[in-house]
Amino acid sequence: SKRRGRYIYPRYKPEMNKRNNELMTIQSDLYRALERNEFSVVYQPKVSFSNGRILGAESLLRWKHQTLGMISPATFIPMAEDNGLIEAIGEWVLATAATQSKFWQLDGLPSFLLAVNLSGRQLQEDGLLDTVRSIIRTSGIDPTLLELEVTETFLMQDIDHSLSLLHELKSIGIRLALDDFGTGYSSLNYLSRLPVDTLKIDRSFVVDLEESKERYNLVRNVIRMSHDLGMQVVAEGVETQTQFELLKSLNCDEVQGYFISPPVSPDKFRMLLENQPLI
């Protein structure tokens, strides 16, 4: 019957085909994006709740495709992790951001902690330590002003290996942040073993703060416990005044999100550095 057919055959959707074709184009063009100079880095400030000054900035990768325009890292980073390109791309981001940061410092702008994302795949690569050391040397960035953001999903895969790698990274003098906290499975107990300096509370928790008393209490406990462990706490994806006020009252250290500023071009970030405090 007509009715049954509706369930058996998917409806033909031209936009589905278009999306699939786009994804295939993106996947194959990713191989050339570096040499075609299509990547850039934007910077999003992390600001002190107490005085509105920029304590850090997260480097975020952007790809402008010749015909498709801007492509989200949420789309192409997982592809780059699958095909191995993430190692070269990640190295490019680190070198670009570290060099930029050193330029700003030489220009006499206020110093801040530069954060760069590391994907799980990069953390499994043998040459990671050498790569990080060599980029610090060539860019001239002060290693104490560099922070690498790692996610807990990676850490849980092989705890012993992860721990020794993180300790080696720390021995270079850089800082480590645990990204997207709350989205994986790491227990609070396990957290005390990690040599991380900063914990980033995932946006999903920030969104729930106003709605759920349980979430509110959870975030309060996470902040307290992090402080007990000597860690700084950054709240990600803060978009509203209410979220801002709640997190501030919970003694969260730093705020990152559209409420303060979206990720911006180097020129705009420079203006932010020159126009502090931001709140």
Residues contributing to the site for Ca ion (CB under 5 A): 117, 149, 179-180, 236
Nearer to ligand C2E, 74 or 106 (CB): 74
Three-class HEC string of 224-258: HHHHHCCCEEEECCCCCHHHHHHHHHCCCCEECCC
Nearer to ligand C2E, 142 or 180 (CB): 180
114 binds ligand C2E (CB under 6 A): no
CB environment 226-246: b (16+ within 10 A), e (fewer): beeeebbbbbbbbeeeebbeb
Which of 87, 36, 46 minimizes the C-alpha distance to 177?
46
Question: Whose structure tokens read 């020159």?
Answer: 274
Give yes or no for a cis peptide into 14 (omega within 30° of 0).
no
Per-residue x/- track, 210-249, ligand C2E (CB under 6 A): ---------------------------xxx----------
Pick one of 258, 265, 271, 277: the residue that binds ligand C2E (CB under 6 A): 258
Q: Are 148 and 169 in contact (CB under 8 A)?
A: yes
Nearer to ligand C2E, 29 or 58 (CB): 58
Number of residues that bind ligand C2E (CB under 6 A): 20
- Rg from Cα positions in the chain: 21
60 binds ligand C2E (CB under 6 A): yes
The piece of 132-140, 209-217, 247-255, 257-265 that touches ligand C2E (CB under 6 A) is 257-265
Distance of CA 115 to the CA centre of its chain: 8
**Least Cβ distance, residue 149 to Ca ion (angstroms):** 4
Question: Whose structure tokens read 């001239």?
Answer: 140
Q: Which partner, ligand C2E, Ca ion, none, binds residue 87 by CB below 5 to 8 Å per kind?
A: none
Interface contacts to ligand C2E, rule CB under 6 A: 44, 60-61, 72-74, 77, 90, 93, 117, 119, 179-180, 203, 237-239, 257-258, 263
